[in-house]
A and B are shown apart, each in its own frame.
Chain A
Amino acid sequence: MEPSTNQTVQLAPPKKKSLSQWGIARKKFVRNIPAMASLIFLFVVTALSMSASLLSDIDPSRINPRLVEVPPSAEHWLGADSAGRDIVTMLLYGGRTSLLIGFSCMTIIITIATIIGTISGYYGNIVDSILMRFTDFMMNFPFLIFVIVLQAIFVDSGVLALILVISLLSWTGAARVIRSKVMSEKENEYVLSAISIGTRPSKVMIKHILPNVMSTIIVQATLLLAAMIVAETGLSYLGFGVPVGTPSWGNMLQAARDPGTFENLWWIWLPPGLLITLTILSINFIGEGFKDAFNPKSKK
């Protein structure tokens, strides 16, 4: 990395590059087998869903009376559902919707939570009181009922509205966690030292505090990602999530509400259920991996 213009000749062993704390965390994470396996799994699932239209030439929403409830075969690997739609194709397209909702909700939530949590925790006093009372206020909305009512009013609102509604109702917990972490972090002397050398408050927050609470933010983000996918599937299962025409893992699970299907036609509800479980599980493993990697005391 550095030019070897050192005048003082040192016969030191080949220079090891200095590792930042990020570097150390990355190294620890890569050695964590369950976390890495989960990361690869999640990556594969995401990649397959993204390229759904390339992998399958069947229209996922086309209803085909000839294929109603056919069991798995060489042509249709996982059979078809009660409307004759190919399950594999639906899984691919459904993953696209479910993961899109999960990732976008997580991004929006983490952004809101980080901004509010950091400002609130850093400035304290009145700013903190105002922002935290606002957070409490947002916390008062009962999530499920609120979403159901909104979705019932705006029936044809589509995926985007669902993302916004879920995000706006779910950032409060993460904001509080980040705020408390910022509050403890700003007591460190390096923050005072940054102020004493004339660093602007905005820069103190972005360059000094945020990197040091980033581990918390990343762990929160993974937990949120899992929670948001669950929220989507849960709402869709109840019929208040993604519009019925759009395939999503939650919508596919709806079929299991019918006892007949549940008992006899396993290929309709088992694959999406399994995929959801595995995805959530792998996200949680990744979160645990991050937690370990950022913990200076773990020796993995």
Chain B
Amino acid sequence: MMQTDEVKKKDLTQKDTLLEVQNLKKYYPIHTGFFKRKTGDVKAVDDISLTLRKGETFGLVGESGCGKSTAGRTILRLTDATDGNIFFEGENITKVSGSKLRKARQDYQMVFQDPYASLNPKMMVGHLVDEPIRNYRNKSHKDLKPEVQHLLKRVGLREKDYYKYPHEFSGGQRQRIGIARALALNPKLIVADEPVSALDVSIQSQVLNLLKELQEEFDLTYLFIAHDLSVVKHMSDQIGVMYLGKMVEVGDNESIYREPLHPYTQALISAIPEPNPLIKKERIILKGDVPNPQNPPRGCVFHTRCPMAMEKCKEFVPQLKEVRPNHQVACLLYENQ
């Protein structure tokens, strides 16, 4: 289960782009009153862009409710985008629908957050795992049994688990079933939506290591969504930090951890617990709550909680700007750099 970190160091710029998301927006309309007139939008995802290269992991972090899961689901076309474009291998999949979309789904799969809710309780594990294959190839359960059992073994389950039902497994084992299911079609991209947040800490590392092993073995690209920065640090090559539907900072893993630029990222990183009790860490404590996304603050959305807020933050919306190599930030503090 142990795994060395040597694969991480590769020249990232040389690789081809697998997924490109441009100015993605997902608004949920709010209807009020007797006539259900539209009175506003919840801007769950507001203008985010990201690029994922083959074999790479993009970590998307942010506190709960910031729209990271919605972003993941929108990218996989499980909900329709309000605006923006999603290119998968150069092809625009934003408006594809019907059987064409169904066909396209083979290449991108999802691992869900809650392993208790994401497996149909009435189905046998073997049938759960072979379902994606059966959706695309006309094969019987029996034909696929060796393949499925091999997959189960690969994700750390036993062959005879084929005959069991989800309720007989622990959370970690269920998540392994979910991973086997996502792998069954040999996809290129896997969106992992907080795959370990529902699991016990001791199990978390096992599942994360499994994901890393599989990434090498099957040449996978991950969009890794999490709220735990230490998990993201362990997994990702690139990191995007989201706040209230907006991307506030994007950059290389190292660059972000070495020198977080956005005050929000700084606060998040300062909150990672330090295992060594002798090291005193200075924590940046954010005041207040996340503002209501129905009615986000004017100007920079973070100014209500930002320890470094200035007068102009209330008026101008900062745009993402590359201030270090491979490191972009949307903050007015770096406006003149």
- B-binding residues in A (CB < 8 A): 1-2, 6, 17-22, 188-190, 192-200, 203, 207-208, 211-212
Question: Which chain A residues border B121 with CB–CB below 8 Å?
Answer: 21, 190, 212
Report whether A188 and B117 are in contact in the complex, using a CB–CB cutoff of 8 Å: yes
Q: Determine whether B159 belongs to the interface, using a CB cutoff of 8 Å to chain A.
A: yes
Neighbour of A194 across the interface among B120, B162, B167, CB < 8 A: B120
Report whether B102 and A198 are in contact in the complex, using a CB–CB cutoff of 8 Å: yes
Complex Cα–Cα for A256 and B103 (A): 67
| Known contacts A190-B119, A198-B106, A199-B135: A21-B163 contact under CB 8 Å | no
Q: Determine whether B109 belongs to the interface, using a CB cutoff of 8 Å to chain A.
A: yes
Complex Cα–Cα for A200 and B295 (A): 38
Question: Which chain A residues border B135 with CB–CB below 8 Å?
Answer: 197-200, 203
Contact code string B238-275 (vs A, CB < 8 Å = 1, else 0): 00000000000000000000000000000000000000
Neighbour of B163 across the interface among A18, A200, A203, CB < 8 A: A18
A7 to chain B, nearest CB (A): 9
Task: List, sorted by A's number, 29 A–B pairs whose CB atoms are closer than 8 Å.
Answer: A2-B160, A18-B163, A18-B168, A20-B122, A20-B124, A20-B165, A21-B167, A22-B122, A188-B117, A189-B118, A190-B118, A190-B120, A192-B73, A192-B112, A192-B118, A193-B178, A193-B181, A196-B76, A196-B109, A196-B110, A197-B105, A197-B135, A197-B184, A198-B105, A198-B106, A199-B135, A200-B102, A200-B135, A203-B135
Contacts A197-B184, A200-B135 known; 8 new A-B pairs at CB < 8 A: A6-B160, A21-B121, A189-B118, A193-B181, A195-B78, A196-B109, A197-B185, A198-B106
Q: Determine whether B218 belongs to the interface, using a CB cutoff of 8 Å to chain A.
A: no
Can you name the residue of chain B whose Cβ is closest to the Cβ of A208?
B120
Question: Which chain A residues border B119 with CB–CB below 8 Å?
Answer: 190, 193
Question: Which chain A residues border B103 with CB–CB below 8 Å?
Answer: 198
Complex Cα–Cα for A208 and B118 (A): 11
Can you name the residue of chain B whose Cβ is closest to the Cβ of A187?
B117
Complex Cα–Cα for A125 and B136 (A): 29
Neighbour of A197 across the interface among B113, B123, B162, B181, CB < 8 A: B181
Report whether A193 and B118 are in contact in the complex, using a CB–CB cutoff of 8 Å: yes
| Known contacts A18-B168, A199-B131: A212-B122 contact under CB 8 Å | yes
Residues of B116-144 at the interface with A, using a CB-CB cut-off of 8 Å, are 117-124, 131-132, 135-136
Neighbour of B112 across the interface among A193, A199, A208, CB < 8 A: A193
Can you name the residue of chain A whose Cβ is closest to the Cβ of B181?
A197
Question: Which chain A residues border B181 with CB–CB below 8 Å?
Answer: 193, 197
Complex Cα–Cα for A72 and B102 (A): 71
Question: Which chain A residues border B131 with CB–CB below 8 Å?
Answer: 194, 197, 199
For the complex of A and B, list the 4 residue pairs with the smallest distance between their C-beta atoms, beginning with the closest.
A197-B132, A189-B117, A189-B118, A211-B122
Residues of B90-104 at the interface with A, using a CB-CB cut-off of 8 Å, are 102-103
| Known contacts A6-B160, A18-B165, A200-B102: A193-B122 contact under CB 8 Å | no
A200 to chain B, nearest CB (A): 7
Report whether B112 and A189 are in contact in the complex, using a CB–CB cutoff of 8 Å: yes
Can you name the residue of chain B whose Cβ is closest to the Cβ of A188?
B117
Complex Cα–Cα for A17 and B132 (A): 26
> Please, how many residues of chain B have a CB less than 8 angstroms from a CB on the other chain?
37
Neighbour of B109 across the interface among A192, A197, A211, CB < 8 A: A197
Question: Which chain A residues border B160 with CB–CB below 8 Å?
Answer: 2, 6
Can you name the residue of chain B whose Cβ is closest to the Cβ of A15?
B160
Question: Which chain A residues border B163 with CB–CB below 8 Å?
Answer: 1-2, 17-18
Can you name the residue of chain A whose Cβ is closest to the Cβ of B178?
A193
Q: Determine whether B164 belongs to the interface, using a CB cutoff of 8 Å to chain A.
A: yes
Q: Determine whether B114 belongs to the interface, using a CB cutoff of 8 Å to chain A.
A: yes
Question: Which chain A residues border B167 with CB–CB below 8 Å?
Answer: 21
Question: Which chain B residues border A19 with CB–CB below 8 Å?
Answer: 165
Complex Cα–Cα for A21 and B286 (A): 47
Most buried by B among A22, A197, A203: A197
| Known contacts A6-B159, A198-B105: A193-B124 contact under CB 8 Å | no
Question: Which chain A residues border B168 with CB–CB below 8 Å?
Answer: 18
Question: Which chain B residues border A194 with CB–CB below 8 Å?
Answer: 120, 131
A21 to chain B, nearest CB (A): 6
Report whether B78 and A192 are in contact in the complex, using a CB–CB cutoff of 8 Å: yes
B117 to chain A, nearest CB (A): 4
Complex Cα–Cα for A292 and B153 (A): 37
Question: Which chain A residues border B117 with CB–CB below 8 Å?
Answer: 188-190
Complex Cα–Cα for A208 and B167 (A): 16
Complex Cα–Cα for A17 and B162 (A): 12
Can you name the residue of chain A whose Cβ is closest to the Cβ of B113?
A189
Question: Which chain B residues border A192 with CB–CB below 8 Å?
Answer: 73, 78, 112, 118
Report whether B165 and A198 are in contact in the complex, using a CB–CB cutoff of 8 Å: no
Report whether B122 and A196 are in contact in the complex, using a CB–CB cutoff of 8 Å: no
Can you name the residue of chain B whose Cβ is closest to the Cβ of A214?
B122
Question: Which chain B residues border A6 with CB–CB below 8 Å?
Answer: 159-160
A18 to chain B, nearest CB (A): 5
Question: Which chain A residues border B165 with CB–CB below 8 Å?
Answer: 18-21
A80 to chain B, nearest CB (A): 53
Complex Cα–Cα for A193 and B103 (A): 15
Question: Which chain A residues border B185 with CB–CB below 8 Å?
Answer: 197-198
Question: Which chain A residues border B132 with CB–CB below 8 Å?
Answer: 197-198
Question: Which chain B residues border A197 with CB–CB below 8 Å?
Answer: 105, 109, 131-132, 135, 181-182, 184-185
Question: Which chain B residues border A188 with CB–CB below 8 Å?
Answer: 117
Contact code string B26-38 (vs A, CB < 8 Å = 1, else 0): 0000000000000
Question: Which chain B residues border A212 with CB–CB below 8 Å?
Answer: 120-122
Can you name the residue of chain A whose Cβ is closest to the Cβ of B114?
A189
Can you name the residue of chain B whose Cβ is closest to the Cβ of A193?
B118
Residues of B274-312 at the interface with A, using a CB-CB cut-off of 8 Å, are none
Complex Cα–Cα for A17 and B120 (A): 19
Question: Which chain B residues border A198 with CB–CB below 8 Å?
Answer: 102-103, 105-106, 132, 135-136, 185
